[in-house]
């Protein structure tokens, strides 16, 4: 009876010790990331290779199809094999699952594969593309570009978890059109390349793992190099430090030791009067000494003061002294200085003990009142780091932040001023993670624990449902024979010539070829439209080296005259 009672009590206790599972944990979160593709620099036309299984408004394309998407008329048109679809103001290329092989898109024949479905709209007369890609596939296009695929696997695993956590937290914001940019506004995304094997292993080995703190997703910020000390979000973006107890300021010997960490240096000679010493800095040091002339007991005239040598340079005045931050705002120069003393002749004069000399005007101290003499004590002058040193000595690393860490060392008769920190410095240093894994053989858990102390690793489930597979019967049905040159309908030339203008026709090329209209009169200039045989153009003027300034129904550019004939 007693044993049974004890067993019941243990079951009762265990029931109360087990934490309830929240609804969010019961239901998988959406695992489809919406990526705004800015790095493609799309115009009003895009050439897309469908290297996978795709459909558009119920029309299924065979693998390997090339389509052209255009919005030159205001609406989106899709051209394929002599057919055209008007999609209105937006279109969605829907991806379907495949059993094997590639399953994605390529733009303009480029190599990276953009996996996922593609939504295109019109913005400012240009195409705007948002990729709908499963989370783990998205990371395959992020990890090797945020951290080189050549880095140790454990460092890449840490990067994968940090990037995944960052992404999931951005997805939770539920923005109306997209979740993340494909650039440094969020995380760099370039599509998938098969050769990035280590990154693929890192993403696969950590699938679904995110960083959490007190049950909520952590802010897993990271940057290239922190310069030897981590920073905190409040210094960079504001807010309250209590919001991020797992992001603290701490020394980072791993980043500091890594020879790959970004360092900008300047060699400054100790001898100020030498020709190698920057004249602008010499003048600023002179101004600093001149401002102290009265308390130093010397003439305040610039010609009566001469900074001679730099005795030492020390970073000083922390931007955040309460946090022990080593972001210093000045370089403190200690100098040996020569000058003309204001009271140099006083000791040679005789004064009557009780007599009062007649009042006279104080003569101005001139530059000829004796030689300059070394001052008995060194003089210190503070030079602003971010407003003077960085721009004048070309030591700026970050354009978005004033947060570089400065150190100074002396080598012989030269001071080596060094600036470190590439990025905001909050959270994980990628160079530090590399060095931890490579040199100290730390695993990804140890790396993350160092940069996010107190953060836990939590396995999460994501719903990556996209669409049903294409019916097998369609996949074995041969598609229609391709025309020799699939191309869209020629753009009509609706405008009439103004004085000095005339029309030409593109007929100096083969009928199955094309002619590039470029942004400027050069073969190296960006292509803004592809023209086809028989296209009519309005000539607005001529340019050098046989180029014509033309218009095709409002779109202006340049083509080579030899491929056209006047109508």
Q: 74 with 92: CB under 8 angstroms?
A: no
Residue 384 belongs to a domain: yes
- Whether 11 is covered by a domain: the verdict is no
- DSSP 3-state assignment of 23? helix
Let me know whether 96 and 175 are in one domain: no
Q: Residue 541 belongs to a domain with what CATH number?
A: 2.30.30.40
Mean pLDDT across the chain: 87
257 and 284 assigned to the same domain: no
Domain span at residue 525 reads 502-566
pLDDT at residue 471, as a whole number: 67
Q: Are 157 and 204 in contact (CB under 8 A)?
A: no
Same domain assignment for residues 256 and 277: no
Q: Are residues 412 and 308 in the same domain?
A: yes
pLDDT tens digit sequence for 475-528: 555 545 444 444 455 656 666 788 889 999 988 887 767 888 888 888 877 777
Number of H helices, E strands in the chain: 14, 34
Confidence at residue 229, expressed as pLDDT on a 0 to 100 scale: 98
Evaluate whether residue 553 is within a structural domain.
yes
Both 306 and 319 in a single domain? Answer: yes
On whether both 335 and 469 belong to a single domain, the answer is no
Q: Quick check: is 5 in a domain?
A: no
What pLDDT is recorded for position 495? 67
Task: Kindly tell me the burial class for residue 567, based on how many C-beta atoms sit within 10 Å of its own C-beta (0-12, 13-18, 19 or more).
Answer: exposed
DSSP 68: E
In a domain? residue 122: yes
Query: Which residues 6+ apart lie within 8 Å of 350 measured at CB?
Result: none
φ, ψ at 391 (rounded to 5°): -70, -35
Asked if residue 516 is part of any domain, the answer here is yes
According to the model, what pLDDT value does residue 317 have?
98
Look at residue 346 in the predicted model and tell me its pLDDT: 43
Task: Indicate whether 408 and 293 sit together in one domain.
Answer: yes
DSSP, res 364: P
Q: Is residue 473 part of a domain?
A: yes
**Same domain membership, residue 285 and residue 389:** yes
Residue 304 has a pLDDT of 93
In angstroms, the CA 131 to CA 139 distance is 13
Q: Are residues 535 and 386 in the same domain?
A: no
* In a shared domain, residues 183 and 276: no
Number of domains composing the chain: 4
pLDDT in single tens digits along all 567 residues of the chain: 344 333 333 333 333 333 333 333 445 688 999 999 999 999 999 999 999 999 998 899 988 899 999 999 899 999 998 899 999 999 999 999 998 889 999 999 888 999 999 999 999 999 999 999 999 999 999 999 999 999 999 999 999 999 999 999 999 999 999 999 999 999 999 999 999 999 999 999 999 999 999 999 999 999 999 999 999 999 999 999 889 999 999 999 999 999 999 999 999 999 998 889 999 999 999 999 999 999 999 989 999 999 999 999 999 999 999 999 999 999 999 999 999 987 654 443 433 433 445 444 444 444 445 689 999 999 999 999 999 999 999 999 998 899 999 999 999 999 999 999 999 999 999 999 999 999 999 999 999 999 999 999 999 999 877 677 776 655 555 545 444 444 455 656 666 788 889 999 988 887 767 888 888 888 877 777 888 888 889 999 998 888 999 888 778 889 999 999 988
Other beta carbons within 10 angstroms of residue 126's beta carbon come to 15
pLDDT of residue 493: 66
Are 276 and 407 found together in one domain? Answer: yes
Q: What share of the chain is helix, strand, coil (3-state, %, to 5)?
A: 25, 35, 45
Q: Residues 154-200: pLDDT tens digits?
A: 999 999 999 999 999 999 999 999 999 999 999 999 999 999 999 99
**pLDDT tens digits, one per residue of 100-149:** 889 999 999 888 999 999 999 999 999 999 999 999 999 999 999 999 99
Specify whether the CB–CB gap between 191 and 113 falls below 8 A. Answer: yes
Q: How far apart are CA 554 and CA 493, in angstroms?
A: 9
The whole-number pLDDT of residue 507 equals 87
241: tokens are 């430090």
For residue 317, count other CB atoms closer than 10 A to its CB: 14
| 91, 124: one domain | yes
């Amino acid at each position: 009876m007693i044993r049974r009672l004890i067993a019941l009590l243990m079951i009762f206790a265990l029931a109360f010790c087990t934490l309830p599972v929240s609804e969010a944990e019961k239901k998988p979160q959406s695992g489809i990331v919406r990526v705004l593709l800015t790095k493609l620099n799309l115009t009003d036309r895009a050439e897309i290779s469908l290297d996978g299984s795709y459909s558009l408004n119920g029309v299924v394309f065979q693998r390997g199809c090339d389509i052209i998407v255009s919005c030159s008329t205001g609406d989106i048109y899709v051209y394929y094999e002599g057919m055209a679809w008007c999609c209105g103001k937006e279109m969605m290329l829907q991806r379907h699952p495949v059993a094997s092989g590639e399953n994605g898109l390529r733009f303009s024949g480029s190599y990276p594969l953009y996996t996922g479905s593609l939504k295109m709209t019109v913005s400012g007369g240009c195409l705007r593309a948002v990729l709908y890609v499963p989370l783990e596939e998205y990371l395959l296009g992020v990890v090797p570009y945020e951290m080189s695929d050549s880095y140790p696997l454990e460092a890449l695993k840490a990067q994968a978890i940090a990037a995944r956590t960052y992404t999931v937290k951005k997805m939770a914001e539920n923005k109306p059109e997209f979740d993340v940019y494909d650039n440094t506004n969020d995380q760099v995304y370039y599509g998938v390349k098969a050769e990035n094997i280590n990154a693929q292993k890192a993403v696969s080995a950590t699938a679904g793992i995110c960083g959490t703190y007190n049950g909520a997703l952590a802010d897993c910020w990271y940057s290239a190099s922190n310069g030897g000390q981590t920073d905190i979000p409040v210094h960079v973006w504001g807010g309250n430090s209590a919001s991020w107890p797992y992001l603290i300021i701490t020394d980072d010997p791993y980043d500091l030791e890594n020879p790959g960490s970004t360092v900008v240096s300047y060699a400054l000679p100790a001898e100020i009067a030498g020709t190698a010493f920057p004249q602008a800095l010499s003048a600023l040091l002179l101004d600093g000494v001149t401002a102290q002339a009265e308390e130093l007991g010397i003439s305040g005239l610039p010609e009566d003061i001469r900074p001679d040598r730099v005795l030492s340079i020390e970073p000083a005045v922390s931007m955040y002294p309460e946090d022990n931050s080593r972001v210093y705002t000045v370089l403190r120069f200690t100098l040996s200085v020569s000058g003309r003393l204001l009271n140099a002749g006083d000791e040679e004069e005789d004064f009557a003990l009780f007599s009062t000399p007649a009042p006279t005007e104080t003569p101005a101290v001139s530059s000829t009142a004796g030689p300059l003499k070394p001052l008995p004590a060194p003089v210190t002058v503070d030079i602003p780091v971010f407003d003077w040193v960085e721009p004048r000595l070309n030591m700026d690393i970050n354009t978005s932040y004033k947060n570089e860490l400065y150190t100074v060392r002396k080598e012989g008769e030269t001071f080596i001023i060094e600036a470190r920190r590439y990025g905001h410095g909050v959270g994980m240093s990628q160079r530090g993670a590399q060095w931890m894994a490579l040199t100290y053989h730390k695993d990804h858990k140890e790396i993350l624990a160092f940069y996010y102390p107190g953060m836990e690793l939590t396995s999460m489930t994501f719903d990556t449902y996209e669409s049903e597979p294409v019916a097998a019967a369609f996949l074995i049905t041969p598609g229609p024979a391709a025309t020799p040159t699939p191309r869209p309908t020629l753009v009509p030339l609706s405008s009439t010539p103004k004085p000095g203008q005339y029309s030409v026709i593109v007929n100096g090329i083969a009928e199955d070829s094309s002619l590039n209209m470029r942004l400027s009169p050069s073969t190296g200039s960006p292509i803004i439209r592809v023209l086809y045989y028989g296209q009519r153009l309005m000539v607005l003027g001529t340019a050098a080296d046989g180029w014509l300034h033309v218009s095709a129904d409002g779109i202006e550019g340049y083509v080579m005259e030899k491929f056209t004939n006047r109508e």
